[in-house]
Structure 1
Amino acid sequence: MIRTLLVDDDALTLELHRDYLGRLEGYEVVGECSGARAALNALVAGTGDRRIDLVLLDVTMPDGTGVEVLRHLRARGVTVDVIAVTAVRDAETVHQMAALGVVQYLVKPFTFAMFRERLEQHRAYREQSIAEGQASQAEIDALLGASRPTGSIRVPKGLSQASLARVTAAARTAGVLSASEAADLLGMSRVAVRRYLEHLADEGRLERVPRYHGRGRPETEYRWR
């Protein structure tokens, strides 16, 4: 589970974000803060059972800004993932937040579909980043791309960067798996997963190998190169 802290000075917004996260798999709300100081204290103390993996961070709050919170965090070596969720969209603030390492910048107001897309991209980013061993150029591109909106990343028509990164991470971690196994692991349809596996095989990242189950047509398994 990705342990998430919600930070916003508006109670209704906190409730909305809590509801949205509750509709997504893999995320757990572990705290809520209505101010910059409280958020900073929670994040600095976030170790062990109080660990925080992700912050949905507002930019404007009565006692400080999201930029100030991020500056203090980075100065103290706190590397928690941050998604800025704000109505602020001036270029200077966006640049400052990006320079301080936000993985997404979500402008209010937004639909649940947009929220879900950004959080799925973040989950793919985390799954890609915890894969063991040295990364290839393609994996580095997928890792960086998974933290950004899919519209800015070139992928084959009909495929999404977020799902591609998830399938890539699963294939790399497993070493060898079939489309059915990957579908069960990722909670995706077998047909959809197979399209991503075939794309990775076409790109030379996976090797197709027949898997025999006695008589009958063999099943294709995909081995990480």
Structure 2
Amino acid sequence: MISVILVEDDPMVREVHRQFIERIDGFKIIGIAANGHEGLQLIRQTQPDLAIIDMYMPYMGGLEMLREVRAEGFLVDVIAITAAQDIETVHRVLQQGAVDYIMKPFTFERIKKSLENYRFFRLKLKEKKSFSQPELDQLLFMNNMEEKEEELLPKGLTMPTLTKILEFISNASSPVSAEEVAENIGIARVTARRYLDYLEKEGKVKIHVQYGGVGRPVNRYGM
């Protein structure tokens, strides 16, 4: 699970954002703050993977909080959420290392896309020890390449489901079966096999044949 803190001063907006985030698999909110001071304290105490921060808040705004986070050396990733659309604010936030910038008001689909891209980013960092230039380009510009990636997949396969399957296999303590993948992801067994066959063909997963006492051997899949 990717640990998240949410920093937003408006209680109603904060609740909407909380509900959005909790609908997306793989993310767990471990703290909520109403301003930058509280958010900074939360990061010091919990050291989350990701902080989702509003920019306009009392006592300490999001940009000031982000500067303090970087000055103290925390490696937390940041998604900025704000009504600000001016170039100067956008530039300053991105200079401080925000991985995404979402303008209010936004839809569930927009934040879902942001978090799924972030999850894919973390998965790639976890499974790789080094990158070639094309691999790094794909990782850095995956927002622009997402539609192209979808076009390269066989008909009926989608990138979000593929990412979930890779994440499940990567986090499993031992190779898993198509049935286990289907149950965990919430798809049909035949669909899981299609994804697994594709991943095996692409060299993303390896087949481990499990022989039992009776019946046909079972294909299990691991990294």
TM-score when scaled to structure 1? 0.73
Q: 1:11 to 1:145 in 2, by over 3 A?
A: same
- 2:16: which partner in 1? 16
Query: Are the counterparts in 1 of residues 138 and 145 from structure 2 also a CA contact under 8 Å?
Result: no
- 1:168: which partner in 2? 166
- 2:35: which partner in 1? 35
Aligned length: 219
**Secondary structure at 1:60's aligned position in 2?**
coil
Q: 1:42 to 1:114 in 2, by over 3 A?
A: same
The structure 2 residue matched to 1:89, chosen from 80, 85, 91, is: 85
- 1:107: which partner in 2? 103
Q: Report Cα offsets for 1:152-204 as digits up to 9, x if no partner.
A: 66243454444433433444455633322333444554344333322322223
**Secondary structure at 1:98's aligned position in 2?**
helix
- 2:178: which partner in 1? 179
Q: Distance in 2 between matches of 1:192 and 1:145?
A: 30
Moved more, 193-202 or 10-19: 193-202
Q: Distance in 1 between matches of 2:157 and 2:97?
A: 26
The structure 1 residue matched to 2:146, chosen from 151, 158, 162, is: 151
Q: 1:52 to 1:210 in 2, by over 3 A?
A: closer
Unaligned runs of 5+ in 1: none
Q: Which amino acid aligns with 1:2?
A: I
Q: Distance in 2 between matches of 1:142 and 1:217?
A: 43
1:13 Cα offset (Å): 0.7
Q: Percent identity?
A: 34
- 2:52: which partner in 1? 56
**Secondary structure at 2:65's aligned position in 1?**
helix
TM-score when scaled to structure 2? 0.73
**Secondary structure at 1:154's aligned position in 2?**
helix
